[in-house]
Structure 1
Amino acid sequence: MAGKPSTPVLAKLVGLAAAAAAAWAANQVITQSWQAARGHKPPKAEDPGDSQLAEILVAAALSGAAVAVARALATRGTARFAVKTDITD
């Protein structure tokens, strides 16, 4: 693509690490919140048990949305930080 600056490897690695850490933290927040509200960990599709489909879908939607938002914010924040600290050169 013309006009789009390339991102160096260091900035990509920092962004990847920040996104992974943010996703993990968001997942932990969802798990702890679910456990506090419902009295058990959020169900997963592969877990055996009597979890209802609706509960599995709600847990998956909340978890997926929280992780996606956290990753996006971490990636954007890292990109802004890279530009400010000039590690993109």
Structure 2
Amino acid sequence: MIKNLFKKSYSEKDFWNWFEKNSEDYFQLKESRYESLFNKLHSQLSKINPDLVFEFSAELDSGKREFIISADGIVAAFPDVIRLVEAALN
């Protein structure tokens, strides 16, 4: 209980700040780095909600990949996906 009083919460904005700093690695995915990069991304998303999943499009669109975050059908995680999308748009 006392430990939680001093715990800094990780916000959607924190996630996008991290992602922006690391985005080039994800948009220029190299197969040799998949495991390392995906583990890092999963770790960051899990700070928002451990049920969130992600994927990247295989095809480049204007030199970029589409990044998809999903609740993976878990209804309780939908609000976190919505907050992440809203934070990305702001």
TM-score by length of 2: 0.28
Higher relative contact order (CA 8 A, sep 6+): 1
| Structure showing the higher helix proportion among its residues | 1
Larger Rg: 1
| Structure showing the higher strand proportion among its residues | 2
TM-score by length of 1: 0.28
